[in-house]
Amino acid sequence: MSGNLQIIEAGDTRARAAFLDFAFQRYRHDPNWVPPLRRSQAGLFAGRAAFFAHAEMALLLASRNGKPVGRIAAIHNRAHNERYADRTGFFGFFECEDADAEAACALIARAEAWLRERGMSTLRGPVNPSMNAECGLLVDGFDSPPMALMPYNPKAYVELLTQAGFRKCKDLYAYLVRAERVGPGTEAHARLLRIRRVLERRHPEVKVRPLAMRDYRAEIARIMDVFEQARQDNWGYVPITPEELQETAAEMKGVVDPEIILIAEVDGEPAGASLAIPNVNRGLTACGGRLFPFGFIRFLRAIKRTNEIRIFGVAALPRFRHLGITGILFLETVLRGIAKGYTRGEASWVLEDNVLSNRTIQHGLDPEHYKTYRLYEKTIGD
């Protein structure tokens, strides 16, 4: 393309603001894009997040003739490399003008160079900024907005990354569950109730209860302890630090619906958990990513009207898995969500090769596999 292409590291306040604003400019006419919460993302870009106790990130901004045309973050996650004893660097927050392959390749090349300086030999992404947050590039399902904490991008980005030498690493699936297919009066709903009765009869020692808001922080810690133990062998897993947990709990508190966050107990001991939240993206769209001075009201109104939830996951401690706890929690999440008036739920994300989780969702919830996200990877040398 014509013009003077320049890549800079957005290290000061003004450049970081341009890095943040580029996404708002890029998607200003796209009805499916959901604006991030500006204040939260500005803090992340300034390095004010618990993640940076074990990571560092460089924000790279591309401009042509003084006008921003793309951005990317190069991410060195030391916790990942310590766990896996490898040299994998990451990229995230990638945005670019659709037809500007030159800018995309230049941004990626700068990210590679920054990571090579830190000893990385592989580049993987996108992650925003880690596998414990938004991750993956949307490669199928562009006709609707994403659910809470799931990314969105135009179809053109697939070609931009392919041209830059990336190949598929892993696919992540998102399933849509509709109340009209599993709600009262349907064959699927009757089947769910039968399964519930069978599981209750076989395992009366398993009790399911909703999250207790009066003990919110301790409850979130209990839930995350279950998930951390249950997913230790999952591909790409990196433990969440206590500081990251506290940060996440604080961010979630204002939007949780305790009736759809469930804890399964055996003799009073946490044995499994299900984590779901209302689709906060409705609120973010309503307020345009700004809570103040008046966006907070629009955000809350939209959240109260939403009929959608995102189911982040269902997990059971290894020693209790024989009790069918994950099945019980899946059933209870769907049945309780329908009873509360939620008519759509997304179960995401699920690794393509997680056979058990995919089978459980597909056979039990009559879902639609409606979106696929992809992690890409490339070798960047020594």
Which residues of the chain fall below pLDDT 50? none
* DSSP single-letter state for residue 133: S
Helix (H, G, I), strand (E, B) or coil at 240: coil
**3-state class (DSSP) for residue 3:** coil
pLDDT value, residue 357 = 87
Q: Could you tell me the pTM of the whole model?
A: 0.95
Nearest to 124 by CA among 382, 377, 307: 377
What's the CA gap between 158 and 138, in Å, rounded?
Answer: 8
Q: How far apart are CA 325 and CA 331, in angstroms?
A: 10
Alpha-carbon Rg for the chain, nearest whole angstrom, is 21
Model pLDDT for residues 140-172, shown as the tens digit of each residue: 999 999 999 999 999 999 999 999 999 999 999
Q: Are strands 206-210 and 262-266 parallel, antiparallel or unpaired?
A: antiparallel
CA distance 129 to 74: 9
Residue 380: predicted pLDDT: 96
pLDDT at 189: 79
Task: Decide: 206 and 328 in contact? Cβ < 8 Å.
Answer: yes
Tokens encoding 309: 């939830």
Amino acid at 61: L
> How much is the pLDDT for 330?
83
Domains (range + CATH), the chain: 5-173 (3.40.630.30), 176-371 (3.40.630.30)
pLDDT number for residue 382: 61
